């Protein structure tokens, strides 16, 4: 078990290192000259030289790379051009908003997805199953950015029931979190339905029923525990996916003051240090989440440990 965890941690660390390297080389070796981008139009060649010196861009690439790694290790990822503050600090100031919205959407998706999925599997072809399948299909086929815009159009512009932008009251959460949880709900419903169907067909469920275990326990304890492994991967994947992918789109539509909107603004303002720190931070979150899932797996399913 310890060996397994150690191996996973090493792999995670290697992944982060690899991403740091890739990020460095993509941003440095691209055709865009960062100094030219940062300078105002009326800058003199002297300014350009100063700036090049300041960022150490005149040094050989390998020296730059080791400096970058050293600074990254200390948590220094450069300074934001727009805010003139450390890029990491700028990111962390906006992160709580993303985390709050992500958590709300995550809880909604897991609750709705799991319960609809389980009920659908227990009573196939029932009313709820039909609704569940329809919701799953809709969630897979409706683009979240369009749903967001349509929600704004309907509830914000036409009916004027809900605020269309920003963060403040509880009402501000409704549309963005609905929009964000649409796809995850579909995914969780489909997956939990199919793995529950498999589990309910198995011999141990038949055995439990023969023993006279109450149906409620059969479903939740015997069947669900075994059906939960594939669902768990997806659920954790969804959490990091929500914070990364959907956050950018949904925050952009609803002007939510989180990191997704920050990175869009920084991208359009060519504030590359912030974009860069966003990339690294997100990878860090995803890798950590994957690590946690791997460890939880090993606890739930002993077979994985001994592979």
Partner 1 sequence: MIHLFKKKKKKDTRPKGGIRLPYVGFFCLGIFFLAVIFADVIAPYDPQEGDLFSSTIPPVWQEEGSLAHILGTDMLGRDVLSRIIHGSRMSLLISVGCILFYGSIGVTLGLISGFMGGRTDMVIMRMADLWLSLPAIIVLFMLASVHGPSAKTIILTFGIMGWPNYARIVRGECLSLKERDFVRLARVAGCSKLRIMFSHILPNIMNTIIIMATIEIGGIIVLTASMSFLGLGTQPPSCDWGLMLAEGRQYITYASWLVTFPGLAIVITVLGFNLTGDWLREILDPKQKLR
Contact footprint for partner 1 (CB under 8 A): 11, 14-15, 18-19, 22-23, 26-27, 30-32, 124-125, 137, 140-146, 149-150, 152-153, 157, 190-191, 193-195, 198, 201, 240-241, 244-245, 248-249, 252, 263-264, 267-268, 270, 272, 275, 278-279, 282-283, 286-287, 290
Minimum distance of partner 1 from residue 205's CB (angstroms): 12
By beta-carbon proximity to partner 1, the closer residue of 213 and 289 is: 289
C-beta of residue 262 within 8 angstroms of C-beta of residue 94? yes
Minimum distance of partner 1 from residue 146's CB (angstroms): 4
Minimum distance of partner 1 from residue 302's CB (angstroms): 21
By beta-carbon proximity to partner 1, the closer residue of 51 and 289 is: 289
Look up residue 13 and give its two tokens: 């660390």
C-beta of residue 267 within 8 angstroms of C-beta of residue 251? no
Residue in the block written with tokens 């003139």: 84
C-beta of residue 187 within 8 angstroms of C-beta of residue 113? yes
Minimum distance of partner 1 from residue 122's CB (angstroms): 14
By beta-carbon proximity to partner 1, the closer residue of 109 and 240 is: 240
Cα angle, residue 174 at apex, residues 277 and 104 outer, rounded to 5°: 55
By beta-carbon proximity to partner 1, the closer residue of 50 and 229 is: 229
Range list of H helices, the chain = 2-29, 34-38, 45-54, 61-73, 87-122, 127-141, 144-151, 171-201, 203-211, 215-217, 224-241, 247-254, 259-268, 272-300, 302-305
Residue 122: closest CA among 137, 112, 132: 132
What is d(CA 96, CA 94) in angstroms, rounded to the nearest whole number? 6
Minimum distance of partner 1 from residue 44's CB (angstroms): 26
By beta-carbon proximity to partner 1, the closer residue of 172 and 190 is: 190
By beta-carbon proximity to partner 1, the closer residue of 9 and 49 is: 9
What is d(CA 150, CA 157) in angstroms, rounded to the nearest whole number? 10
The SS3 assignment for 169 reads coil
- Phi first, then psi: what are they for 79, rounded to 5°? -110, 140
Minimum distance of partner 1 from residue 282's CB (angstroms): 6
What is d(CA 199, CA 228) in angstroms, rounded to the nearest whole number? 10
Minimum distance of partner 1 from residue 145's CB (angstroms): 5
C-beta of residue 145 within 8 angstroms of C-beta of residue 253? yes
By beta-carbon proximity to partner 1, the closer residue of 93 and 198 is: 198
By beta-carbon proximity to partner 1, the closer residue of 25 and 49 is: 25
CA 143 to the chain's CA centroid: 17
Minimum distance of partner 1 from residue 298's CB (angstroms): 16
């Amino acid at each position: 078990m310890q060996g397994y965890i150690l191996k996973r941690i090493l792999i995670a660390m290697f992944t982060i290192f690899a991403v740091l390297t890739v990020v460095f080389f993509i941003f440095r070796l691209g055709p865009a000259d960062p100094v030219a981008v940062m300078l105002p139009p009326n800058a003199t060649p002297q300014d350009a030289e100063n700036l090049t010196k300041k960022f150490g861009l005149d040094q050989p690439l390998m020296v730059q790379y080791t400096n970058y790694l050293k600074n990254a290790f200390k948590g220094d990822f450069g300074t934001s051009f727009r805010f003139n503050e450390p890029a990491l600090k700028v990111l962390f100031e906006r992160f709580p908003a993303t985390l709050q919205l992500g958590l709300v959407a995550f809880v909604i998706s897991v609750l709705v997805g799991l319960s609809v999925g389980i009920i659908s599997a227990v009573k196939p072809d029932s009313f709820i199953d039909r609704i569940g399948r329809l919701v799953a299909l809709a969630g897979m086929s409706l683009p979240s950015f369009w749903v967001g815009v349509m929600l704004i159009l309907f509830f914000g512009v036409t009916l004027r029931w809900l605020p269309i932008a920003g963060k403040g009251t509880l009402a501000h959460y409704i549309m963005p979190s609905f929009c964000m949880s649409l796809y995850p709900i579909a995914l969780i419903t489909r997956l939990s339905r199919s793995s529950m169907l498999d589990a309910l067909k198995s011999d141990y469920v038949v055995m439990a029923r023969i023993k006279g275990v109450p149906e409620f326990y059969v479903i939740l304890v015997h069947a669900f525990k075994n059906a939960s492994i594939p669902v768990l991967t997806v659920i954790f994947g969804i959490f990091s996916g929500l914070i990364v992918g959907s956050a950018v789109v949904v925050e952009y539509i609803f002007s939510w003051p989180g990191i997704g909107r920050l990175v869009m603004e920084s991208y359009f303002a060519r504030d590359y240090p912030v974009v860069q720190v966003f990339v690294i931070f997100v990878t860090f979150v995803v890798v950590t989440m994957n690590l946690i899932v791997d460890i939880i797996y090993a606890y739930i399913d002993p077979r994985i440990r001994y592979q």
